[in-house]
């Protein structure tokens, strides 16, 4: 998938009648049908640019970038933005993210592990920068962000906010409809339970979860397995509690699982539980690297919080907070797909990766025109590409391309310009 195709299709999606149908809030069914200073495509494009400053500053900067101006451009007020976003459905941006994930899979950007799509699940505590207010349905400062993450391509499959009093297992249960028998769910030690294993087996969802715990807590069969010294063992868990069977509509029968011993580089013994019983297709030696990929969701949360200022929000209501979180998740996914596309288009070796720390800075000036369907070449005249030298970072080396000014004559379309900026 070329970068022209990626952003061109996304711009067309923002202007489509289908997106408009899902974008209007149920309380405002006729929203976005009239021409305004901040129409629906511009509203969403602004939110997807990764808003980290005051709302008015972001608005002025957005229209400055759109009009190729060095000075801030005042076209829309903060109050107009608040009125427009109040009419935006809570599902509009998540549905746009679903569309983007489907596109990524269609073009082969979602890798497979032994034929299965890896999906890591985890949650992170959020403390939003909110002040006391009298707005209706005001957001709480402390919430939990739950996510399903695709570690192979660094894309967030789904993300949602929950109360701090809600169990992470319950959050996962509410997202299981997004998984199928072609996915492999990766879980940390906070998730294993007998009812969850029963539900996953009932739905045919492959899983790999870490289950050892200190002391006498956890599964008795896991403690016995640790003492046995065996490398792997097939065991049977006790049946789920009657209350869990009723609540989660899971089978009441005992569940059979496979336990695998893994020795970490620091000598720590880990026990992984899975329902992948084919030892030829899934040998013991493959589980160490498999479980390690779960860590990518931890890095994703860190990237969202620190580079995209996830806890900085542009409104005080719960609706505004949910929209901001969804927009920044989609913004991060766009950056991930841009990096993957630029990596392929530049024909870089696998050992070299795009510098994601610079990605947001390089793309932000381009996003207004990209997401509104305008040619990037008209934004930056005379080849004045963002950034000086282009750096590609890997663990052991960096690759440089000539200064952007020397390439001005070679930049003929938006794709070439985008690659130049992303590699900067």
Report pLDDT for 351.
78
Structure tokens that stand for 246 in this block: 């009723």
The β-bridge partners of 259 are: 233, 273
Residue with structure tokens 């070329």?
Answer: 2
pLDDT of 72: 92
Tell me if 244 sits within 8 A of 250, measured CB to CB: yes
Residues in the chain predicted with pLDDT less than 70, given as ranges, are: 1, 215-216, 374-424
Which helix (H) or strand (E) covers residue 183, if one does? Answer: strand 183-187
pLDDT given at position 138 = 87
Residue 407: phi and psi, rounded to 5, are -100, 5
Measured at the CA of 154, the angle between CA 97 and CA 189, to 5 degrees, comes to 105
Q: How would you list the strands of the sheet with 353-354, edge to edge?
A: 353-354, 390-393, 398-401
Q: Which helix (H) or strand (E) holds 103?
A: helix 92-106
Nearest one of 139, 103, 123, 84 to 304, comparing CA atoms? 123
What is the domain partition of the chain in residue ranges? 97-301
Coil, strand, or helix at residue 189? Answer: coil
pLDDT value at position 118?
97
> Measuring CA to CA, which residue among 183, 248, 191, 194 is closest to residue 220?
194
Instruction: Identify which of 36, 175, 164, 170 has the alpha carbon closest to the alpha carbon of residue 94.
Output: 175
Nearest Cα residue to 162 out of 180, 143, 140: 143
Give the torsion through C-alpha atoms of 89, 335, 50, 137, to 10 deg: 30
Phi, psi for residue 401 in degrees, rounded to 5: -115, 160
Are residues 150 and 157 in contact, defined by beta-carbon separation less than 8 angstroms?
Answer: yes
Task: Give the count of beta carbons closer than 10 Å to the beta carbon of residue 237.
Answer: 19
In whole angstroms, what is the distance from residue 402 CA to residue 145 CA? 41
According to DSSP, the residues that pair with 270 across neighbouring strands are: 262
Mind listing the pLDDT tens digit for each residue in 274-287? 999 999 999 999 99
- How far is it, in rounded angstroms, from Cα 51 to Cα 256? 48
Classify strands 390-393 and 398-401 as parallel, antiparallel or unpaired.
antiparallel
Nearest-angstrom CA–CA distance, 28 and 157: 28
From CA 345, how far away is CA 312, in angstroms rounded?
34
Contact 321, 47 (CB under 8 A): no
Cα separation of 260 and 273, whole Å?
6
Q: Is the CB of residue 33 less than 8 Å from the CB of residue 343? A: no
Closest CA to 387 of 418, 412, 348: 418
Please state, rounded to an integer, the average pLDDT across all residues of the chain: 86
Q: Write down the pLDDT at residue 128.
A: 93
* Residue 418 in tokens: 């985008």
pTM: 0.86
| Number of residues that make up the chain | 424
Task: Give the largest CA-CA distance in the chain.
Answer: 72
Q: What is the DSSP string of 65-78?
A: HHTT-SS----S-H
Segment (H or E) for 340: helix 318-345
Residue 114 confidence (pLDDT): 94
What's 286's DSSP letter?
Answer: G
Helix axes 318-345, 414-422, angle to 10 degrees: 100
């Amino acid at each position: 998938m070329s970068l022209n195709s990626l952003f061109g299709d996304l711009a067309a999606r923002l202007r489509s009648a289908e997106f408009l149908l899902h974008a209007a809030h149920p309380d405002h069914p006729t929203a976005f049908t009239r021409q305004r200073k901040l129409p629906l495509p511009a509203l969403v494009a602004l939110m997807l640019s990764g808003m980290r400053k005051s709302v008015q500053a972001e608005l002025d900067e957005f229209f400055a970038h759109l009009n190729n101006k060095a000075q801030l451009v005042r076209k829309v007020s903060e109050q107009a933005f608040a009125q427009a976003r109040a009419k935006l459905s809570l599902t509009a941006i998540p549905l746009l993210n679903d569309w983007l994930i489907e596109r990524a899979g269609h073009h082969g950007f979602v890798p497979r592990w032994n034929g299965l799509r890896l999906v890591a699940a985890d949650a992170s505590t959020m403390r939003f920068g909110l002040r006391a207010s009298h707005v209706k349905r005001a957001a709480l400062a402390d919430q939990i962000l739950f996510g399903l993450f695709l570690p192979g391509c660094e894309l967030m499959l789904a993300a949602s906010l929950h109360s701090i009093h809600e169990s992470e297992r319950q959050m996962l249960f509410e997202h299981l409809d997004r998984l199928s028998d072609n996915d492999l769910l990766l879980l940390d030690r906070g998730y294993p339970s007998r009812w969850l294993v029963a539900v996953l087996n009932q739905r045919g969802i492959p899983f790999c979860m870490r289950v050892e715990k200190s002391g006498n807590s956890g599964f008795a069969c896991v403690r016995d397995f640790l003492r046995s010294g065996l490398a792997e063992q097939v065991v049977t868990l006790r049946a789920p509690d009657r209350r869990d069977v009723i609540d989660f509509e899971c089978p009441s029968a005992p569940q059979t699982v496979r336990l695998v011993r893994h020795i970490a580089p620091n000598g720590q013994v880990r026990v992984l539980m899975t329902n992948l019983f084919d030892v030829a297709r899934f040998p013991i030696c493959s589980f160490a690297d498999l479980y390690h990929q779960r860590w990518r969701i931890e890095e994703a949360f860190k990237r969202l919080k620190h580079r995209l200022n996830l806890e900085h929000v542009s409104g005080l209501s719960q609706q505004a907070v949910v929209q901001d979180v969804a927009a920044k998740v989609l913004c991060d996914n766009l950056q991930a797909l841009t990096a993957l596309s630029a990596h392929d288009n530049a024909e870089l070796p696998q050992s070299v990766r795009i510098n994601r720390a610079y990605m947001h800075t390089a793309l932000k000036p381009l996003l207004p025109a990209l997401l509104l369907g305008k040619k990037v070449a008209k934004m930056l005249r005379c080849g004045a590409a963002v950034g000086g030298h282009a750096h590609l970072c890997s663990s052991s080396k960096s690759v440089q391309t000539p200064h952007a000014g020397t390439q001005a004559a070679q930049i003929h379309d938006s794709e070439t310009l985008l690659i130049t900026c992303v590699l900067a």
